[in-house]
Amino acid sequence: MAIAATAGSLAARERTARRRMVNSTMTAVLWGAALSIIVLLIFFVGYIFYLGVPVISWHFLTSPPSEVAAGGGIGPEIYNSFYILVLTLIFTTPVATAGGIYLQEYARPGPFTSLVQFCAESLSTIPSIVMGLFGMLVFVDLFHWHFSAIGGALTLTILNLPALMRVTQEALQTVPTTYREGSMALGATKWQTIRRVVLPSAIASLTTGIVLIAGRIFGETAALIFTAGTSVSVGRSAYDLGLFHQAETLSVHLWYTHSEALVPDVTKIGNGSALVLLVMVLLFNISARVLGRALTKRLTGK
Amino acid sequence: MLAIIAYLAFMGLRLFIVDHVSPLVFLFSPHFNPDANHPGALVFILGSVFITAFAICVGGPFGVAVGIFLSQLAPERLATIMKPTIEILVGIPSVVYGWLGLTLLVPFIRHLGSQTGFGLLTAGIVLSIMILPTVISLAEDALRAVPHALEEGSMALGATRWQTIWSVMLPAARSGLTVAVILGIARAIGEALAVQMVIGNSPILPEGLLSPTAALTTEIVTDMGSAQEGTILYDSLFSMALLLLLIAMALILAVRGALRRGL
């Protein structure tokens, strides 16, 4: 009897020991996975800086690219990236915020609402290259705009509408229902409530979301190759507001020089462009945070 | 949305209706020979499937592990570093991932004994990293949505932290985790440029992990620039785009199904 009990508790103790060991092993594995993500990012950023910093010069950042000889810059590409970004935001933001406000504040559950939701979800999983082909069919072929800044911007608008709508909805969801009820109880109309109460308290997270999406628009490539084109010199001066001119962006330039262009200093251009793109992404992320925090402070006094 | 589907369906079906190419040839022939009226896209379909499967097998568990860490183990300090880290990983443009793959991974794989360094393995690794942020944040959300009572109950019964995660949290978050993986697949199969820069772009069936091949997206990027409107090549590229669109829609339906059935 006594011996059996001892054997039993021995086995139990062994099991406990094994459980503990599995637990600490798996905890270590999970820690390892998480830390390796941070290491990975630091490594990527460090490596791109290491490659890119020697390339960056005032000349590289401001001069036009060269077709065949070495020594071309990326000035017009940087300009085009910002130009298309601004155009896209002008088109996207009003539509997406209106759509988001409608879905979150007005829409009742029903076939129409779920159809809109379903369309938004499907739109957001369509590969950007497929969207690029659609943009090409409509803006380049059907409208005869050829490769153009506006065609690229409109394609990016379709591509990013669902994401921005989602951001708006999520920002509005963070506003407590009690705010709305309080405002309505004071006799405000639905629109007054949204305009004066809901939007101001959601504006911080909305801004953060928009800036993060702006970063994504800045780096988008696949949808632009066949809509905005791969040249900065067809029928225009390098820096103008021509909506219907070809407008190769920086990210497209990085892809294009690598795979199609004839210049001998491809590696150099690639290293420099990758660094500029990365720095822009970092800037967008940091400014999203700073802006979000500043706006929260200013508007809610927290 | 409907306009996009209609227009792409119209363009994508031209190959079969106007050009009289059999859909069977398009789907199952490994010989991509549009000039000879024989645009078999099997190589590209398999290429897409292989690299996506690779990315999910590597990036999926890894991403879920980080998701578990963030939702269960991470000290608050570390979590505040991880969140922006993941956001920046999302924000890095795909061409920059491609460029990293090209300058970092390709020479490394060449050392491993591949002739060029371009190929399935290289593309698969790049994609594994690119789907990480998607999988991580969705897995984290899924695990956070599990009621606290379940976790506390399990711990109160004497389960270790890992036993709780493995036998209680993961099963409870099953549908959310399925969604994370499906959307990871969607991200991987639709990625064009990063893959195009490292896969080698040769329309041949791969013999192994190290051999170069092509995928649906990369073939579109590679040949659309030179395709003349109305040719078999042009039409078959649109058929590939339509196929990608259908895959994306199927994945969204799968997401809805997983959420509804609580799988």
Examine the pLDDT at A6 and tell me if it is beyond 60: yes
State the average pLDDT over residues B214-218: 85
What are the chain B neighbours of A251 within 8 Å (beta carbons)?
A: 93, 95-96
Number of domains in chain B: 1
Q: Give the gap in angstroms from C-alpha B252 to the nearest C-alpha of chain A.
A: 6
A47 touching B (Cβ < 8 Å)? yes
Q: Is residue B33 part of a domain?
A: no
Examine the pLDDT at A15 and tell me if it is beyond 80: yes
* Residue A237, pLDDT score: 59
pTM (2 decimals)? 0.87
State the average pLDDT over residues B56-62: 92
Percent of chain A past pLDDT 70, that is, above it, reads: 90
Q: Is residue B244 part of a domain?
A: no
State the average pLDDT over residues B82-96: 86
Task: Tell me which residues of chain B, numbers 74 to 133, contact chain A at a CB-CB cutoff of 8 Å.
Answer: 74, 78, 81-82, 84-96, 98-100, 102-104, 129, 132
Local confidence band at A301 (pLDDT 50, 70, 90 cut-offs): low
Q: Is residue B55 part of a domain?
A: yes
The domain A58-300 having CATH identifier 3.40.50.720: the answer here is: no
Return the CATH number at B176: 1.10.3720.10
Examine the pLDDT at B228 and tell me if it is beyond 60: yes
Find the range with the poorest average confidence among A40-44, A138-142, A176-180, B99-103. Answer: A138-142
Q: How far is CA A81 from CA A210, A217, B17, B131, in A?
A: 17, 9, 40, 25
Examine the pLDDT at B239 and tell me if it is beyond 90: no
The predicted-structure confidence for B172-213, as pLDDT tens digits, reads as follows 888 889 989 999 999 899 888 888 888 887 777 777 777 888
Local confidence band at B55 (pLDDT 50, 70, 90 cut-offs): very high
Looking at chain B, which residue has its C-alpha nearest residue A125? B248
For residues A288, B95, B213, B203, the Cα torsion angle rounded to the nearest 10 degrees is 120
Q: How far is CA A214 from CA A172, B90, B91, B212, in A?
A: 19, 12, 10, 34
Range of the domain at B71: 40-235
Q: Is residue B24 part of a domain?
A: no
Q: What angle do CA A279, A281, A286 make, to 5 degrees?
A: 95
Interface pTM (ipTM) of the complex? 0.86
* Residue B84, pLDDT score: 83
Question: Which of B135 and A59 is assigned the larger pLDDT?
Answer: B135
> Which letter, b or e, does each residue of A261-290 get, where b requires 16 or more Cβ atoms within 10 Å of its Cβ?
bebebeebbbbbbbbbbbebbbebbebbee
Return the domain boundaries, chain A: 1-52, 58-300
Measured CA to CA, the distance from residue B258 to residue B263 in angstroms comes to 5
The predicted-structure confidence for A180-235, as pLDDT tens digits, reads as follows 888 888 988 888 888 888 888 888 888 888 888 888 888 888 888 888 777 766 55
Task: Tell me which residues of chain B, numbers 155 to 184, contact chain A at a CB-CB cutoff of 8 Å.
Answer: 160-163, 165-166, 183
Nearest to B92 by CA among A74, A216, A37, A271: A216
Q: Is residue B12 part of a domain?
A: no
* Residue B61, pLDDT score: 92
Measured CA to CA, the distance from residue A112 to residue A119 in angstroms comes to 11
